[in-house]
Amino acid sequence: MTLPRVVGAEHAVPLIDGRTIAYANLDHAASAPCLTAVRAAVDELLPWYAGVHRGAGFPSRVSTRVYERARTTLRRFVGAPDDAAVVFTRNTTDSMNLLASAVPAGSRVVLFDTEHHAALLPWRDAHRLRTPEVAADAVGVLDRALRERAAALVVLTGASNVTGEVWPVAALAEVAHRHGARVVLDAAQLAPHRPVDAAALGVDYVALSGHKLYAPFGAGALVGPADWLRAAEPYLVGGGATKLVADGFAVTWSDAPARHEAGSPNVVGVHALAAACEALAGSWDAVVAHEEALLERMRTGLAHVPGLRELALFEPGHDRVGVVSFTVDGIDPGLAAAVLSAEHGIGVRDGAFCAHVAVRRLAEGGQAVRASVGLGTAAEHVDRLGRALRLLVARGPRARYEVVDGRWSP
Ligand code: PMP
């Protein structure tokens, strides 16, 4: 089984000393590079794309066919049943906001407080459970909360974007279902790394983003039971979402999914997302093996950096995808990220990763550095990270970095 290739893997980037070096992509958790197969699929569609559901011309018919076929691809990709609705959205954030708007009025929603903001903030009046000190205890915490008071929906995350740790989704979903609640899985960070099987995990809705799945920005999906989506008023209104606008503006909305896809759909983005799903679905063994080897190698390198502490919600040895966040004693995370980029051509992310509650709890100062591997990462990249951090610790930060507009800059 061959490893899918990404575009741009051979990029050279400038260093502070005037040299150039191969870019070390350790920032897949933010956005993954595009697969070559995705670029080929987009190239194939570009000469033919036209408005979806909006024209009788041949390109429009091609686009409509491509767009509708992508729903089947997404349904299969996440292991959802044949009758699941697939709504194309912009990203996971959009998918979560859509579901939040579609939950029946008065429903109680339960979630853990360490979620990514995309999963946390759409449900302002949700019941937020404090993620326990050892997150594995979350199963018991959820059980007690739902026994006290039933809920309509539980929001879960597949893999943490802060620690990469994989949540015990099947066990949590079993508890939710036992108490009559549905489950939505934020799969933004899990879907690029592991097969997501909604049926096996026991989750009802799956939300994901194309740009984390090796497709370009702009397309994501919400997959799940159609009933709530059918009954809900669209939260974005306009053309395509309506069957009829009568004189006097009485509106009859289309059925789901069209009801929640107002405006001209992003057919190229959706096609790219489907192409990425197909490429990954055909190569999981190779993808998982590649990432596991890189993750182990990276963590071995990090273990040799004095003063480095990994962030973790679960106990040591817990299953995780290729994402590691850490702090280094005495070194500002923003400065570390700037040095890694400017002196070593390494791309990482620093800050609180849109999960402020989680990072505040896990890292002194509420900030960390995040290194994440994927199909655009080579073994040399993770080796370089370990070397660069050891050098930084040994030498201390250089004077030539300063804070510009709130960020460390050479
Ligand atoms: N959930 C998780 C776990 C994520 O990592 C992200 C992206 N960082 C999101 C949700 C939101 O994804 P998007 O920005 O594509 O909407």
- Residue 397 clears pLDDT 80, i.e. is over it: no
The answer to whether residues 302 and 385 touch, using CB atoms and an 8 Å cutoff, is: yes
Based on the structure, what is the number of domains in the chain? 2
The residue whose CB lies within 8 Å of the most ligand 1 atoms, and thus the one to mutate among 27, 97, 212, 323, is: 212
The residue whose CB lies within 8 Å of the most ligand 1 atoms, and thus the one to mutate among 28, 91, 114, 160, is: 91
Of the chain, the percentage scoring pLDDT greater than 90 comes to 90
Same domain, 148 and 163: yes
Is 122 exposed, middle or buried, given 0-12, 13-18 or 19+ CB atoms closer than 10 A? buried
Same domain, 254 and 116: yes
Same domain, 274 and 376: no
pLDDT tens-digit map of 313-322? 999 999 999 9
> Which candidate, 332, 369, 374, 364, places its Cα nearest to that of 353?
369
- pLDDT at position 398: 65
CA of 49 to the centre of ligand 1 (A): 28
3-state secondary structure 71-120: HHHHHHHCCCCCCCEEEEECCHHHHHHHHHHHCCCCCCEEEECCCCHHHH
- pLDDT at position 408: 87
> Which candidate, 272, 248, 247, places its Cα nearest to that of 37?
272
Question: Is 6 part of a structural domain of the chain?
Answer: no
Domain boundary among 247, 281, 315: 281
CA of 123 to the centre of ligand 1 (A): 15
How sure is the predictor about 249, in pLDDT bands with cuts at 50, 70 and 90? Answer: confident
- pLDDT at position 399: 63
Same domain, 42 and 24: no
Residue 354 annotated in active site: yes
Average pLDDT, the chain: 95
Q: Which residues line ligand 1 (CB under 6 A)?
A: 91-93, 116, 118-119, 157, 161, 186, 188-189, 209, 211, 354
Domain boundary among 266, 281, 296: 281
The answer to whether residues 25 and 349 touch, using CB atoms and an 8 Å cutoff, is: no
The answer to whether residues 190 and 241 touch, using CB atoms and an 8 Å cutoff, is: no
The residue whose CB lies within 8 Å of the most ligand 1 atoms, and thus the one to mutate among 222, 313, 354, is: 354
As a whole number, mean pLDDT of residues 212-231 equals: 98
The answer to whether residues 188 and 161 touch, using CB atoms and an 8 Å cutoff, is: yes
Atom of ligand 1 nearest to the CA of 186: 1
Query: Cα(291)–Cα(323) distance, rounded to whole angstroms?
Result: 10
As a whole number, mean pLDDT of residues 261-288 equals: 97
- pLDDT at position 359: 96
The residue whose CB lies within 8 Å of the most ligand 1 atoms, and thus the one to mutate among 93, 157, 196, 359, is: 93
How sure is the predictor about 53, in pLDDT bands with cuts at 50, 70 and 90? Answer: confident
Written as one string, the DSSP assignment of 233-284 is PPSS-STTSEEEE-TT--EEEPPTTGGG--SS--HHHHHHHHHHHHHHHT-H
- Which residues span the domain enclosing 233? 38-281
CA of 209 to the centre of ligand 1 (A): 7
Which tokens go with 19?
A: 């040299």
Return the CATH number at 384: 3.90.1150.10
Question: Is 242 part of a structural domain of the chain?
Answer: yes
pLDDT tens-digit map of 158-171? 999 999 999 999 99
Of the chain, the percentage scoring pLDDT greater than 70 comes to 99
Same domain, 20 and 63: no
Same domain, 215 and 290: no
User: Which residue's C-alpha comes closest to atom 6 of ligand 1?
Assistant: 188
pLDDT tens-digit map of 122-146? 997 899 999 999 888 999 999 999 9
Same domain, 232 and 337: no
> Which candidate, 106, 193, 103, 196, places its Cα nearest to that of 155?
103
* Range of weakest confidence among 47-51, 272-276, 307-311: 47-51
- pLDDT at position 172: 98
Could you report the predicted ipTM of this complex, rounded to two decimals? 0.99
How sure is the predictor about 88, in pLDDT bands with cuts at 50, 70 and 90? Answer: very high
Question: Is 2 part of a structural domain of the chain?
Answer: no
Written as one string, the DSSP assignment of 277-327 is HHHHHT-HHHHHHHHHHHHHHHHHHHHTSTTEEE--SS-TT--B-SEEEEE
- pLDDT at position 79: 98
As a whole number, mean pLDDT of residues 46-59 equals: 87
Which of 103, 166, 308, 354 is an active site residue?
354
User: Which residue's C-alpha comes closest to atom 5 of ligand 1?
Assistant: 161
Question: Is 223 part of a structural domain of the chain?
Answer: yes
Atom of ligand 1 nearest to the CA of 95: 16
Domain boundary among 257, 281, 305: 281
- Residue 199 clears pLDDT 90, i.e. is over it: yes
- Residue 402 clears pLDDT 90, i.e. is over it: no
As a whole number, mean pLDDT of residues 383-388 equals: 98
Same domain, 42 and 184: yes
CA of 52 to the centre of ligand 1 (A): 27
Same domain, 288 and 334: yes
CA of 187 to the centre of ligand 1 (A): 8
Question: Is 240 part of a structural domain of the chain?
Answer: yes
pLDDT tens-digit map of 146-157? 999 999 999 999
Question: Is 349 part of a structural domain of the chain?
Answer: yes
pLDDT tens-digit map of 91-118? 999 999 999 999 999 999 999 999 999 9
Query: Cα(378)–Cα(373) distance, rounded to whole angstroms?
Result: 8
Question: Is 1 part of a structural domain of the chain?
Answer: no
Same domain, 108 and 19: no
353: left (phi over 0), alpha (psi -120 to 50) or beta: left
Residue of higher predicted confidence among 200 and 48: 200
User: Which residue's C-alpha comes closest to atom 2 of ligand 1?
Assistant: 188
Same domain, 216 and 151: yes
CA of 353 to the centre of ligand 1 (A): 9
Would you tell me the crossing angle of helices 267-281 and 284-303 to the nearest 10 degrees? 80
- Residue 410 clears pLDDT 90, i.e. is over it: no
Partners of 127 in beta bridges = 110
Return the CATH number at 247: 3.40.640.10
Is 360 exposed, middle or buried, given 0-12, 13-18 or 19+ CB atoms closer than 10 A? middle
Question: Is 152 part of a structural domain of the chain?
Answer: yes
Which tokens go with 178?
A: 């036992």
Which tokens go with 13?
A: 């980037």
Same domain, 129 and 220: yes
As a whole number, mean pLDDT of residues 301-315 equals: 97
Other CB atoms within a 10 A radius of the CB of residue 221 amount to 33
As a whole number, mean pLDDT of residues 20-40 equals: 98
CA of 316 to the centre of ligand 1 (A): 25
